[in-house]
Structure 1
Amino acid sequence: MATITLEQEINPWEAQAARFDFAARKLNLDEGLWRVLRHPSREIIVHFPVTMDDGRIEMFTGFRVLHSQARGPGKGGIRYSPDVTLDEVRALASWMTWKCAVVNIPFGGAKGGVICDPKRMSIGEVERMTRRYTAEIIEFIGPEKDVPAPDMGTNEQTMAWIMDTYSMHQRQTVTSVVTGKPVNIGGSRGRREATGRGVRVMCDEALKYLQMPVNGCRVIIQGFGNVGSNAANLMRERGYKIIGIAEYDGGLYNPNGIDICSLLEHRQRNGTVLGFKGAEPADSLDLLTTDCEILIPAATENVITSRNAERIKARIICEGANGPTTAVADEILADKKVFIIPDILANSGGVTASYFEWVQDRQGYFWKESVVNEQLESILAESFDDVVRYSDAHGVNNRIAAYMLAIDRVAFTIKQRGIYA
């Protein structure tokens, strides 16, 4: 393995590109299609002013990257964070292309972001910033072009503002321009829990595949936001034992299992998991390398790297977050025979439910939550089977199998459509 710096290892675009290249080589992908799929089709950078509460005018920088429209409109979230970079947004857009193709839904990949710290802004400032960012990219988004969704730092309210801004410019209500909206303005039942539900489905399928029991299966979850908390609660109902929760401000550990319902109530009251009496305080980094059957990184990128991969004790890693494991760490974990459910498969419940929301908005007919959940679980279980079959057939790990399957589907569609010139 060539020597690389940690900075190179954790660059999300480089990590994505390395995995894409490896999978494309395994597929013997046509050189021309390789070039088409390796690069985003459009990258937008906007700089725009926002009037702050005290009357100051601040300048913000936003991005929207469309990786592919081969299989349908672009699809991908918008994140608000001081750490947003173009490389990160590029990588996330390409991952969305592969994620949509892995679960075989008719979207391409896109992603957006604004460099800001919403925690330090008032709700009025965030709204004004959101509406101006939407206006700056408005000609590039739409139900048949590119459909945004929530991501880190954004939520249902953010999507409502984007939908309203877009609708005001169109002079008609266009609910299908975004997904992840409140239910009363065109959102889908079951959408909020969908990514966490998908993580649980993937863990269920992995245990069946590896012939391991659910009861007593010890789980550590890194990140207790929407994905991590919903996964924890749904897994608790299934009989998993959640023994560790790692958050940005500290962690919790109880070898006998954490009462997730009580923890959710504690977090609701206090805004943090810290101080919960049903578990001992623990170092969040140490929890990643604590003995368990399943480790679920469900927060941010690059938490499993060459620095800690050798010490991972989990039998299964289910990637609730995007890009939590670096390519270098992948090689170390492969040597340790860790069964990885890669991000583009493991957290695809969110985009699958977003597809359901988009379909319902366009139909003007909305499904019961039981129907959403049933359809979601069916698609995800089938996708898990597709990936592990591909892995067995080609003698590659699950991540490369997922990439190969996705690239194959997108490349086939491009060949069918042809290259317009």
Structure 2
Amino acid sequence: MTEVVLDAVNKVYPDGFHAVRDLTLRIPDGELFVLLGPSGCGKSTILRMVAGLEEITSGSLWLSGQLANHLPPRERNLAMVFQNGALYPHRNVHGNISFPLEVAGENDSDSHERIVELSRALGIEETLHRLPSTLSGGQRQRVAMGRALIRQPGIFLMDEPLSNLDAGLRTELRMEIGALVRSLGVTTLYVTHDQTEALTLADRVAILRRGVLEDVGTPQQVYDDPATMFTAAFLSAPPINLVRATVRADQNDGVTLGIGDQQLNLPWSDSRATALVSQHGSFVTVGIRADAMRPDPDGLISGRVRALEFHGHEWLAHVEAGVVLVDAETFRDDEPQQTRQAGRPGVLRRLLRTTGLTAEEAPVNPVSHGGTHRRSDLVFRMENRSGIAAGDTVRLSVDTERMLLFSEDGRRVDKIDR
């Protein structure tokens, strides 16, 4: 069984830069696991530590049950594909794929049959006698994959292998990659900054930011039920609406979210209302995806349509609604939280009694808002224009079941355990 375990792994460079912080992950045998995040978040560094190309500062790396911190790369039973393929220019496709077998001293006739079979699976059988300079970008990446897989490694590492290809070819090749590695059953770590690649390829995906693990789960879990505001924002196209809201809890009416000069109400029958009690008198961020709002004459949010964007299969409308939007990038996990005075404690205690909580469970000093402000536009999605034009005033209803609620440290208030 080929399993990868990283236990409290840290990477600190000589200049003091902390690239990876206390990372703990378990990738079971045969899983296609994707490391996702923006440039500089530490995902390629993690891959290089697994490969043995970077030393681990602290923590433990286990490969197939063996402590591998100081194991040489050649003894780790893994293969790696880089962004540029890195083929030998003087060798044809057959020669590039066969090179690892030649180094291992395997029989030429047996090797040839394996090469032909693998090249057929990769769709490059007709190119075996061609040089890399005569191949397309997609073909070169297939050759690089073939050279890595021909050794039948226990672990397959891929570092942004599709980033140099055009959009159409990326779509085609990522489908082939997913099908191939699953058919081979090889444990795969795949690094990308592209959310579409991650969501379509992964069995599970880990989202990283500034060397810190933000969230991990299946693609549907991290999209529908993100642990942090950053995860929700990163896994969203068009961008999720992150709206600053005040929280007011009422013993009779439930919890009211004040969004600009407009309000959304959550009754006590909604479990999220109970979760919001501890935020009474402070701010939260409400996450609303573009497809969770729609034009509705009876909608609770109103605003003026500033612009319409046509995307072929849909329209996106930008609405000036007098709200304050929050930037997920401004929340720093490594910065001390600032505090401010909470609301009246007597009112809060009475509200807590009605929900079965105790006063000790509520924070005395809720943290202050940490976001920055952008243009106060909400974005919502439409299948067609529905008679809406720029300059029109619209009312919007919100699918409150799909709202995500974040505290001022960027963490979910209403997180569902999984």
Question: By percentage of residues, which structure has more helix?
Answer: 1
Question: By percentage of residues, which structure has more strand?
Answer: 2
Give the structure-1-normalised TM-score.
Answer: 0.26
Largest Rg, 1 or 2 = 2
Give the structure-2-normalised TM-score.
Answer: 0.26
